[in-house]
Amino acid sequence: MNFLFSDATAFLETPAKGNPYSLIIVLMTFGLIFYFLILRPQQKRTKDHKKLMNSIGKGNEVITTGGLIGRVVKVTDTGILTIALNDTTVVMIKRDFITGVLPNGTMKAL
């Protein structure tokens, strides 16, 4: 019975021999996957949203993150937009809370 244990201890004492660069290769692979699947698309969305924010001007019809649809009446340099929801209701909102610019005539179609 002792001969079984000696083989087991001999097996445990042998050092594992492998490529020392395999861990680096695996980490670089996961880093590239993370970059191309998560970081790069998010950077593209951020860039597109920033371009949309800079293109908003007086007369555009917009939709906000809260679901309000209105026409831009006034744009200030501080990033505040004045939006007319209808003929009597006007709200002020930060430029960052605009989710999209709608085609002209959308408000009349609703």
Per-domain residue ranges for the chain? Answer: 16-55, 56-110
Q: State yes or no: pLDDT of 3 exceeds 60.
A: no
The pLDDT of residue 2 is 58
What is the predicted pLDDT for the residue at 29? 94
Which CATH number, 2.30.29, 3.30.1680, 2.20.25, 2.30.30, labels domain 56-110? 2.30.30
pTM of the shown model: 0.62
CA distance linking residue 9 with residue 12, whole number of Å: 5
Nearest to 60 by CA among 107, 11, 14, 7: 107
Q: Which amino acid is at 78?
A: T
Asked whether the beta carbons of 107 and 70 are under 8 A apart, the reply is: yes
Confidence of residue 39 (pLDDT cuts 50, 70, 90): very high
Q: Which residue has the higher pLDDT, 18 or 35?
A: 35
Please give the average per-residue pLDDT across 7-13, as a whole number: 56
CA distance linking residue 70 with residue 63, whole number of Å: 7
Strand, coil or helix: what is 29? helix
Do the beta carbons of residue 73 and residue 90 sit within 8 Å?
yes
**Stretch 88-98: mean pLDDT, rounded?**
91
The answer to whether residue 4 scores a pLDDT higher than 70 is no
* Size (the chain), residues: 110
94 compared with 12, residue with greater pLDDT: 94
